[in-house]
């Protein structure tokens, strides 16, 4: 869970945890007041860690937590986010 050591990434995962649908990278840039390239870098780290999936729709990329996360990972995320 090294990917969650960064406070920004943890904030992003918390937003995805609470979201009812995938979140556009543009929403993260507005909410976190970070550049698109910075958000993309953080999302790439989360994707490499196997925590998020992405889907592209035209020019936008949407992210969500993976549905197939191990129960132990879900439990850990719940504890970190609570």
Q: At what angle are helices 7-18 and 25-32 packed, to 10 degrees?
A: 120
Task: Answer yes or no: are the C-beta atoms of 51 and 8 closer than 8 Å.
Answer: no
For residue range 5-56, what is the model confidence (pLDDT) as tens digits? 999 999 999 999 999 999 999 898 888 889 999 999 999 999 999 999 999 9
- pTM of this structure: 0.88
Instruction: Give the 3-state secondary structure of residue 54.
Output: strand
Assign domain 2-76 to its CATH architecture: Orthogonal Bundle (1.10)
């Amino acid at each position: 869970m090294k990917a969650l050591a960064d406070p920004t990434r943890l904030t992003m995962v918390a937003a995805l945890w609470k979201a009812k649908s995938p979140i556009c990278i543009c929403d993260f840039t507005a909410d976190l007041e970070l550049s698109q390239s910075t958000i993309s870098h953080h999302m790439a780290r989360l994707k490499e860690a196997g925590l998020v999936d992405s889907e592209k729709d035209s020019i936008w990329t949407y992210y969500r937590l993976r549905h197939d996360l191990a129960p132990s990972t879900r439990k850990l995320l719940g504890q970190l986010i609570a």
